[in-house]
Every structure is written in C-alpha cells, then in structure tokens.
C-alpha cells in the first residue's frame, strides 16, 4: 500500500489505484479549471484505454506568472465541481510533497508505484514550450506522453523543438490505445474534439466583470 492515501477532504493525497492500472496524469495549474480540461480528460480516458485519469493540480507552473494564481485548495475544489466521471480524480498532492517540477512528480510516481502504467497528458500548446521545461528529456524517458490537440496548435506543435527531438518515438494515432503499455520514450498526437476555452481568457473575463460590474 502506498504511504500516501487519498484524502477527499484535503485533496492532498494520491487517488486509490491497483497494480497494473493504466493511469493518465493530467497536470497543470488549472487556474481556473474549465470544461475544456474536462473534455481532454474524458477523451484521453477513452482513446488511450485508460483505467483512470488523475488531475494533478500543481502549486504553480514555474514558467508562468503566479500573481493571479488562485489558492491550491480553491483550484482543487473547482476542478472537482467540473469532474463528472467516476474514473477521473483530482489531487493537489504535489504541494504536500513539496514538488515544484513535473520531473519530480513523475520520478516519485514511477518509483513509488512502479507497477502502474502511467501516461503523461498535456495539451498541444504545452508541447510547443516543452523544451523549456526543467529536465524535459528525462520526463520523456520516464513515461509515455499523450498530446491532445488545441485550437491553432495542430499545425505548429508537431514541429516544435521537442517534437523534432522526439520525432522517432512518435507512434501513429491509430495505436494510441497501446501507449500506456509502451516503453518510454513514446508519444502520440491526438486530434479530435476541441474547446475554445482557456484559463487565461477566463481570468481576463472575470477581471473585466469584477472591474466593470453590471448595473
């Protein structure tokens, strides 16, 4: 049994799992979480034939400004309100462990739960900047990666520096259901239903509404 148990109240533990499970790890600030995130979670759950998807609500992206970052507990609570699938769970366990990078998180999970099959899930907009992530090449060696298309990214993200560097490890989209069982590095680019929503746009809309309240 893992030393970190699921704590639904605090949201700072790991969701329950069992040996052999195929688990998608969907990390991000989720500031705020929205239905576009839910779409990605549900689509990857189905198309990668996963047993579960864990939303990893991070303390904050090192590459982003934290001045508008909502408290972790608030982001976890908002994400839970959006989730509508029994096999999708939300956790803020990275903060409890003091992790600041995705590499730390994945290294911990691979060593603590070595008998699970993890897949890292991220939007195609993140693939465009993946080469700027700390130890991004080591991340690619730790777990297979699923890239889900985002508006305006389908023609650019596959040609980003990281995509070029990992080109020989890309698998055809038709083989996406096999990704979790593959040895890393391996990745797939998933096309499909997209949402125009973005956390940045939602924060801007909220700020405008608060600054100019309706009569």
Place of tokens 């608060």: 210
CATH number of the CATH domain containing 204: 3.40.50.620
Instruction: Please give the C-alpha separations between residue 34 and each of 108, 123, 132, in angstroms, as whole numbers.
Output: 27, 14, 25
Whether residue 2 is contained in a domain is answered as no
Residue at 8 is within a domain:
no
3 state SS for the chain: CCCCCCCCCCCCCCCCCCCCCEEEEEEECCCCCCHHHHHHHHHHHHHCCCCEEEEEECCCCCCCCCCCCCCHHHHHHHHHHHCCCCCEEEECHHHHHCCCCHHHHHHHHHHHCCCCEEEEEEEHHHHCCHHHCCCHHHHHHHCCEEEECCCCCCCCHHHCHHHHHCHHHECCHHHHHHHHHCCCCCEEEECCCCCCCCHHHHHHHHHHHHHCCCC
What is the structure's pLDDT at 66?
Answer: 53
Kindly state whether residue 9 falls inside one of the protein's structural domains. Answer: no
Question: Residue 66 — φ and ψ, nearest 5°?
Answer: -95, 5
Q: The pTM is what?
A: 0.84
Which residues in the chain show pLDDT less than 70?
A: 1-10, 60-68, 195-215
Return the closest-CA partner of residue 199 out of 165, 150, 163: 150
Rounded distance between C-alpha atoms, residue 92 and residue 97, angstroms: 9
Whether 3 is in a domain gets the answer no
Residues 76-101: tens digit of each pLDDT: 999 999 988 999 999 999 998 999 99
Show the domain range for 124. Answer: 22-210
Residue 15 lies in a domain: no
Q: What is the pLDDT of residue 68?
A: 67
Task: Determine, yes or no, domain membership for 119.
Answer: yes
Check residue 156 and give its pLDDT.
87
Is residue 132 included in any domain, yes or no? yes
Q: Is residue 91 part of a domain?
A: yes
Backbone angles phi, psi at 152, to 5 degrees: 80, 0
- pLDDT score of 153: 80
Instruction: Say how many domains are in the chain.
Output: 1
Pairing of strands 117-123, 88-91: unpaired
pLDDT tens profile 122-141:
999 999 999 999 999 999 99
């Amino acid at each position: 049994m893992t030393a970190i148990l699921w704590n639904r109240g605090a949201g700072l533990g790991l969701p329950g799992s069992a040996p052999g499970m195929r688990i998608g790890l969907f990390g991000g600030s989720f500031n705020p979480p929205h239905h576009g995130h839910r779409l990605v979670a549900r689509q990857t759950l189905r198309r990668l034939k996963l047993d579960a998807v864990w939303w990893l609500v991070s303390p904050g992206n090192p590459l982003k400004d934290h001045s508008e970052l909502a408290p972790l507990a608030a982001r976890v609570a908002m994400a839970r309100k959006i989730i509508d699938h029994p096999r999708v769970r939300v956790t803020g366990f990275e903060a409890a462990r003091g992790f600041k990078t995705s590499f730390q998180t994945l290294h911990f999970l691979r060593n603590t739960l070595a008998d699970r099959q993890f897949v890292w899930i991220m939007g195609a907009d993140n693939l465009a900047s993946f080469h700027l992530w700390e130890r991004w090449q080591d991340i690619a060696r730790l777990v297979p990666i699923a890239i889900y298309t985002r508006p305006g990214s389908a023609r650019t993200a596959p040609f980003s520096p990281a995509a070029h560097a990992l080109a020989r490890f890309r698998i055809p989209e038709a083989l996406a259901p096999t990704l979790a069982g593959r040895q890393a590095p391996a990745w797939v680019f998933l096309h499909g239903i997209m949402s125009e929503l973005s956390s940045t746009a939602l924060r801007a809309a909220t700020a405008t509404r608060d600054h100019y309240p309706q009569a």
